């Protein structure tokens, strides 16, 4: 079993390596020039994609990615400073979510660029690295920009700021975005890399407790809520239990987890109802969460579901059309591949311990 698990891990790491640009940034999926635009670099996707290499101890790949991400913020520091001083009024004034993996320039076309969780996740990871002894901070410039990101979250009042959320759609207050910011601020404060006022954290925690277990006013459950359990760990055991029960009952399918009910993205029903796309990342994500909870039976179940969600070439696509074996063109999706590596590595660790 050990050899088989190790082989699986190496196979999916090899797929992920093909998505790394020379700069160290990851493409979201597939190859350069794809019509879906997934040959761009998302802040959030890089956070999730590099997890696979960190879980398997490849710190060289990890550092290169994080240095590139820090360089993006430093390149756009004037914009961040302006936002802190003036407070953004329009979406384009917020920190963007997508960048050219070569030039680090923003993409200016209309998009759901207002994504507060993309800032929170960066703070979370860099703070975590500092705490764990795998620091990615190089100099005072890096420390300065991290403090500016904290100040930015304070200025936009992240705890009740309506953003486009993980799925980059219409603006509302997303619990997964608030949770990412809480997790990020907690880690960066604990690491000592930036000053974070207690009030800034408390407002976020209060917002979570007020809104959970819902994701938003329009979504009572959502795949994005899994992030509150892994990696951020910002919910109570009771909240966790309710989120998992709602999600598994309402959103789990044969080939993946629906993002939320009546999701219109790649919905097989022309009216946008009932035939929601099935996202592969949900299965390894659930496996990781249950493994960390010590429920190895459920963790193994979801891991096997994840294995069954790979395509004929062994890759994890973004999603499958409802109740079919037909994936969309965003294949492989780096985020899904990475979570599968993490789930497999955590399984391997239980076998070898």
Other CB atoms within a 10 A radius of the CB of residue 233 amount to 14
pLDDT recorded at residue 108: 77
Residue 195, helix vs strand vs coil? coil
Segment (H or E) for 99 = strand 98-99
Cβ(322)–Cβ(279) below 8 Å: no
**Alpha-carbon span 201 to 189, nearest angstrom:** 10
**Alpha-carbon span 101 to 59, nearest angstrom:** 20
- The answer, yes or no, to whether residue 255 has pLDDT greater than 90, is yes
Query: Which tens digits make up the pLDDT trace of 149-160?
Result: 999 999 999 999
Cβ(16)–Cβ(337) below 8 Å: yes
Using CB atoms within 10 A of its CB, is residue 303 exposed (0-12), middle (13-18) or buried (19+)?
A: buried
- The answer, yes or no, to whether residue 219 has pLDDT greater than 60, is yes
pLDDT recorded at residue 110: 72
Angle at alpha carbon of residue 106, lines to 102 and 107, rounded to 5°: 100
- The answer, yes or no, to whether residue 104 has pLDDT greater than 60, is yes
pTM for the full model? 0.96
- The answer, yes or no, to whether residue 33 has pLDDT greater than 80, is no
Measured in whole angstroms, how far is the alpha carbon of residue 223 from the centre of its chain? Answer: 11
Strand partners, 20: 26
Average pLDDT over residues 108-127: 91
pLDDT band with cut points at 50, 70 and 90 for residue 107: confident
**Alpha-carbon span 226 to 257, nearest angstrom:** 11
**Alpha-carbon span 156 to 87, nearest angstrom:** 6
- The answer, yes or no, to whether residue 171 has pLDDT greater than 70, is yes
Query: Which tens digits make up the pLDDT trace of 283-328?
Result: 999 999 999 999 999 999 999 999 999 999 999 999 999 999 999 9
Average pLDDT over residues 146-170: 97
Average pLDDT over residues 183-211: 98
Average pLDDT over residues 210-229: 98
pLDDT recorded at residue 38: 74
Work out the percent of the chain whose per-residue pLDDT is above 90.
90
Average pLDDT over residues 330-344: 97
pLDDT recorded at residue 340: 98
Cβ(118)–Cβ(58) below 8 Å: no
Distances (CA, A) of 45 to 80, 86, 105, 118, 163: 21, 28, 17, 9, 17
Alpha helices in 76-167 (DSSP H): 77-86, 116-132, 140-155
Strand pairing class (278-279; 98-99):
unpaired
- The answer, yes or no, to whether residue 271 has pLDDT greater than 80, is yes
Average pLDDT over residues 262-279: 91
- The answer, yes or no, to whether residue 32 has pLDDT greater than 70, is no
Query: Which tens digits make up the pLDDT trace of 37-84?
Result: 678 899 999 999 999 999 999 999 999 999 999 999 999 999 999 999
Work out the percent of the chain whose per-residue pLDDT is above 70.
98
pLDDT recorded at residue 353: 75
Domain boundaries, the chain: 1-22+252-353, 40-218
- The answer, yes or no, to whether residue 34 has pLDDT greater than 70, is no
């Amino acid at each position: 079993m050990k050899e088989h698990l190790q082989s699986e891990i190496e196979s999916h790491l090899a797929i992920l390596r093909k998505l790394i640009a020379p700069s160290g940034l990851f493409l979201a999926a597939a190859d350069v020039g794809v019509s879906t635009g997934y040959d761009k670099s998302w802040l959030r996707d890089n956070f999730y994609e590099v997890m696979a290499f960190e879980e398997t101890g490849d710190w060289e790949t990890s550092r290169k990615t994080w240095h590139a991400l820090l360089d993006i913020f430093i390149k756009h520091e004037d914009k961040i400073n302006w936002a802190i001083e003036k407070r953004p009024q329009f979406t384009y004034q917020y920190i963007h979510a997508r960048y050219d993996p070569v030039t680090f320039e923003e993409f200016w076309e209309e998009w759901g660029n207002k994504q507060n969780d993309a800032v929170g996740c960066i703070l979370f990871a860099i703070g975590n690295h500092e705490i764990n002894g795998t620091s990615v901070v190089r100099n005072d410039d890096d420390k300065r920009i991290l403090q500016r990101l904290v100040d930015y979250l304070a200025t936009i009042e992240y705890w009740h700021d309506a953003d486009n959320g993980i799925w980059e759609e219409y603006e509302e207050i997303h619990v997964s975005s608030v949770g990412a910011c809480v997790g990020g601020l907690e880690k960066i404060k604990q690491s000592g890399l930036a000053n974070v006022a207690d009030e800034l954290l408390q407002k976020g925690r209060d917002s979570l407790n007020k809104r959970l277990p819902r994701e938003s006013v329009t979504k009572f459950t959502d795949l994005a809520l899994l992030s509150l359990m892994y990696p951020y760990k910002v919910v109570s055991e009771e909240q966790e239990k309710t989120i998992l029960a709602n999600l598994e009952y309402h959103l789990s399918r044969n080939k993946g987890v629906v993002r939320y009910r009546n999701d219109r993205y790649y919905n097989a029903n022309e009216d946008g109802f009932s035939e929601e796309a099935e996202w592969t990342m949900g299965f390894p994500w659930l496996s990781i969460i249950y493994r960390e909870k010590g429920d190895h039976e459920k963790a193994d179940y979801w891991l096997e579901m994840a294995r069954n969600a790979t395509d004929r070439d062994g890759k994890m696509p973004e999603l499958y059309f409802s109740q079919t074996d037909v994936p969309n063109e965003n294949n492989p999706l780096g985020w899904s591949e990475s979570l599968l590596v993490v789930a497999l590595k955590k399984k391997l660790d239980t076998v070898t311990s």
